Amino acid sequence: MVVKVTGVAEEPPAIAKQFEKLKDPRKGTLRYHKFLDILTIAICAVICGADDYEAIAEFGQAKAEWLATFLELPNGIPAHDTFWRVFEALNPEEFQHCFMKWMAGVRKTISKEIVPLDGKRLRRSYAKEDDKAAIHMVSAWATTNRLVLGQQKVDEKSNEITAIPELLRALDLTGCIVTIDAMGCQTAIAELIIESGADYLLSLKGNQSHLHEDVVLLFDDLLASNFTAYAYDYARTVDKGHGRIEIRRCWTIDYPSLIGSFRGADNWRNLTTLVKVQSERRLDGRSTIEDRYFIASYRDLASNILQHTRKHWYIENSLHWVLDIAFREDECRIRRQWPSELCCPAPHLTQFAQA
């Protein structure tokens, strides 16, 4: 594809570079619109808030002059049915692979970037007529780059524990710190994170009963001894907003001989630091306190680790919230299925199907 800028051919845009190996699912040779043109328009439209094929086509018409500066558009902007047919027949796994390559190219490499992994259910994606449950997706979010690095659909008969390893294998996480909630606190997942060249910060709860009990007792002993029983690091932050005061305290212990004595500790590759975070919320004269525990494969100041635990929630505020509020993901009820015969059309439908 040639980019049209002041009449001089230049390098293709990043989208075209990363998606050029994606197979065009249309049959035959009579195609009125370039495949990469269709993909580029659709991706740009969705980024700008388009949530169905009609909106994608409307975006293309509204931005036709701008799009013509870097797309060929031999027959103008495709109709919404063309976008529909192409994406209905597109191989989703191949598209996802190209998308993740694109995100990897856009992303700037940042040492110790926090990459939260978390799941989200698309509330209205169920289909009663087909007996299909709502789709559940696990996403990886680069907090500093503010990019989705990749997504993995959770199988209907499984859970996030099986989807997270598939997503980790598809990503380049070298030098990053991966944060996951308690469901993903599994020895196999920790092993996979280390093998990918990253570190982990995992929320620890009762699903790892022995290790969780030992970590809780350790910090209870530290408190009971008036913080003299073990060497530790400590940090505290105070935030005020929305009519409340939030105080967060963090204690970290990173002595290998002590950690190695815990039940099951040998099963966790590179287990280095134990973390306790206490959150106190003061509102209307009342105070509530919550204790949370984490395990990490790296050493750092308690102040930094406290920030790392908070950044895990960026995936909720910067990704999931945006998907629901800006993109209306949970409200989407698009269920139109393109008839399979039009993907391999009969002779009298060839021109229509290949447009």
Residue 173 near residue 276 (C-beta atoms within 8 A): no
Sign of CA dihedral 293, 311, 115, 19: positive
Residue 322: inside a domain, yes or no? Answer: no
Residue 304 lies in a domain: yes
- Whether 135 and 220 share a structural domain: yes
Write out the residue range of the structural domain in which residue 239 sits.
110-312
Q: Does any domain span residue 294?
A: yes
136 plus 221 within the same structural domain:
yes
Q: How many domains does the chain have?
A: 2
| Residue-wise pLDDT tens digits, 23-58 | 999 887 778 999 999 999 999 998 888 878 999 999
Please say whether the beta carbons of 212 and 149 come within 8 A: no
Q: Specify the range with the lowest mean pLDDT, choosing from 148-152, 246-250, 303-307.
A: 148-152
Q: What is the dihedral of CA 75, 102, 142, 187, to 10 degrees?
A: 130
Strand (E) or helix (H) holding 346 = none
Query: What's the whole-model pTM score?
Result: 0.76
Query: Is residue 153 located within the same domain as residue 282?
Result: yes
Q: Is residue 152 part of a domain?
A: yes
250 and 130 share a domain? yes
> Do 279 and 133 share a structural domain?
yes
Domain shared by 237 and 349, yes or no:
no
Q: Considering the domain boundaries, does residue 104 fall inside one? A: no
Q: What is the mean pLDDT of the chain?
A: 85
Beta bridge pairs of residue 151: 139
Tell me the pLDDT tens digit for each residue of 75-101.
Answer: 999 999 999 999 988 988 888 888 888
Measure the CA–CA gap between 41 and 46, rounded to whole angstroms. Answer: 9
Residues 117 and 68 in one domain: no
Q: What is the pLDDT of residues 283-334, one digit of tens each?
A: 988 999 999 999 999 999 999 999 999 999 999 988 888 888 877 777 766 5
Does residue 243 belong to any structural domain of this protein?
A: yes
